[in-house]
Copies of this chain bind each other. A is one copy, B any other.
Amino acid sequence: VSFREDGAASLDWVASYLERVRDLPVLAQVEPGELRERLPQAPPDRAEPFTDVLRDLDELLLPAATHWQSPRFFAYFANTGSEPGILAELLAAGLNQVGILWRTSPVLQELEELTLDWLAQLLGLPAGLHGHLEDTASTGTMTALAAARQAKPGARVVVCSEHAHSSVDKACRLLELETRAAPADEAFRLRPDALDLSGACAVVATIGTTSTSSIDPVPAIADACEREGVWLHVDAAYAGSAAVCPELRDAFAGWERADSIVVNPHKWLLTPMGCSAFWTRRPDDLRAVFSLVPEFLRVSEEVASLSEYSSALGRQFRALKLWAVLRCYGREGVQARIREAIRLAALFEGLVRDDPGWEVVAPRPFSLVCFRRDGTDEENEALLERVNASGEIFISHTKLNGRYVLRLAVGNARTTEDDVRFAWEVLRREAARAPA
């Protein structure tokens, strides 16, 4: 059997999967360990045909998948592996480029730089930022904080709102920095009047927090950071993609003054996983931490390698999928998807507001609705578990002011108005049922 035949079967599998994914249970309906028990506990001695892999993918693996590609996935921040992005991953795997130095893959490095520049233009960021791609926003935040620590010796505190992402705490553990949580206001935004920058090397401000998508007041935070010489890192991992729409730019006021910014195209910009954009206006501070060229990598070209700006040495060809997405959607196509997600979230928010048994519990600047059913935390948690166990939709939760809160995030590009209305019906139906 040839690569072409196995490839055609694989392609057909993906196409069929995308066609039927709406009808699959969104949350995997398996118990922990169930898949592992069903698979052979030892690798085969002899080669098996690729068609066996496809068969097992269908019969054994698929039931253990939670379907992020489902238009009825509303948990965390819903995302989309779009068709151009998927095919670009096939092409990238075929090319198998390794970015170490420029010469080991000029195309990887130059397309990454160009695509980050394209994306900066689309988002209205200033010209001249240095951009590169990381696997996740966690890595980008760690990269920023390492540069901030280096840039201000002795300052070992990182300030962020209590609603900042857990990756800030994780990076601080790794970098042996201390996090100082600034209090938030009633709309879950960092309170700049309560900002204590003593001993701080960095502030992480979030545009689109994970719990509620709240927006920290970046202009006031930037003022304070400039006054004190503190690195400002803006985490816009989820919401950043929305800056492609001019009418939403107010939410991003001040981010052009950040020392570093993270936006995840693999969240809300149609790109398959493993594509987190990082920009900085202080590339020299990144190089001070990460540039290290051993003898076996010294060559005649005088081109800085992207590995000098981050912790990994060998890079995957992550830019190809983002480049393909930006070309195959174009500015207008990306804008249309962002606007539609926000429209659908607003629709859902309206349904919740209009029902007296339910409550919207946080402002909704983008496509995430935070809400709860009247009743106890335990009842809301039981409701979430029943809804998710049904497999019809998948939502997640958070806690706000000590209360259990449901989160519905619109972000999958295949989600329609019908899917959102369906989600609301499932929630109402399960709320009406007494818990088992």
| Residues on A facing B (Cβ under 8 Å) | 3-4, 6-8, 10-15, 17-18, 27-28, 30, 32-36, 39, 41-50, 52-53, 57, 61-62, 64-66, 68-69, 75-76, 79-81, 83-98, 100, 102-107, 110-111, 113-114, 117-119, 121-122, 135-139, 142, 146, 165-167, 169-171, 173-176, 210-211, 272-274, 289-290, 292-297, 300-301, 303, 311-314, 316-317, 321, 323-324, 326-333, 385, 396-399, 407
Contact = CB atoms under 8 A, between A and B. Distances in A.
A10 B94 CA distance: 10
Given A27-B103, A50-B328, A330-B44, A4 B15 contact: yes
Nearest to A135: B135
A321 B316 CA distance: 14
Contact of A173 (B93, B106, B292, B397): B292
A8 B10 contact: no
Contacts of A84: 6, 50, 53
A398 B93 contact: no
The interface residues of chain A, by DSSP majority, are classed as helix
B28 A107 contact: yes
Contacts of A311: 138-139, 142, 170-171, 174
B69 A95 contact: yes
B111 A65 contact: no
A32 B167 contact: no
Given A98-B79, A295-B398, A65 B316 contact: no
A121 B84 CA distance: 38
Contact of A87 (B28, B50, B64, B165): B50
The oligomer's copy count stands at: 2
A323 B296 CA distance: 32
A174 B139 CA distance: 12
A330 B104 CA distance: 30
A331 B45 contact: yes
Contacts of A57: 91
Contacts of A18: 3, 94
Contacts of A39: 111, 114
A104 to B, nearest CB: 5
A3 B83 contact: yes
Contact of A88 (B53, B113, B169, B323): B53
A407 B295 CA distance: 13
Nearest to A39: B114
A5 to B, nearest CB: 10
